[in-house]
Amino acid sequence: MAGRAGPLLGRWHHDDEQLAAVRDGAGPQVAVYRIPETVVVVGSGSDPAREVHLAQCSADRVAVLRRRGGGCAVVLDPGNVIVSIALPVEGLGGIHHHFRWISAWIAAELEGLGIAGVRREGVSDLAIDGRKFGGSCIHRSKDLLHYGLTLLVDGDVSRIERYLPHPPREPAYRRGRPHRAFVRPLAEHPGGWDAVRLERALRGRLTPGRLAAFPRPMPPRGKQEL
């Protein structure tokens, strides 16, 4: 069970039922939730020995879990809000298109809540004034796309520094900044947001119908998207 087994690598399972529903023909699914414990989650191709302070996780009995999507390791605690989107999508491509489309939609919905200035940075981050508060990944299997986003709202940033070294790869906009100088929780921005309040607000806005109605970006002219 997460939080008891220490750093032994388990599997991120929170979205299994959602993905199964899409495979069974239920149509697009959107979930917004938080988890009750602190865990470290690594990408599908991550090397935990490089991306995680495993000895510290073991000492603190913090579980290390592997997700389906890519990207580097992250720390999740109850101060993070997770958005999980599963879509029936033909084929295996379209990853960059979906990053642009879904990121723009979520930025618009956050703006509707009064959280202004959200930009997509790099391929998959959400940031305000160059400080990251959201990281996402996509996993593609045949005819299904799963987008997972973590929003840092009032999580304990010191845990990032405690459990994760500087990542082995980073987007250009990070410019080598350490964790605390790179991320900024939404609680530190205007609006007084906390994770419980944002989770409740986003559940009312992030729905399959609103996503379907949001305009899709046009692909770059003359290029075929991956």
Residues 6 or more apart from 193 whose CB is under 8 A from it? 115, 153, 154, 186, 187
Q: H or E stretch including 207?
A: none
Percent of the chain with pLDDT over 90: 86
The residues with which 137 forms a beta bridge, in sequence order, are: 148
> Within the chain, how many helices (H) and strands (E) appear?
8, 10
7/62 Cα distance (integer angstroms): 6
What pTM did the predictor assign? Answer: 0.92
- What CATH number has the domain spanning 9-213? 3.30.930.10
Q: Report pLDDT digits (tens) over 147-200.
A: 999 999 999 999 999 999 999 999 999 999 999 999 999 999 998 899 999 999
What is the pLDDT averaged over residues 99-128?
A: 96
Residue ranges of domains in the chain:
9-213
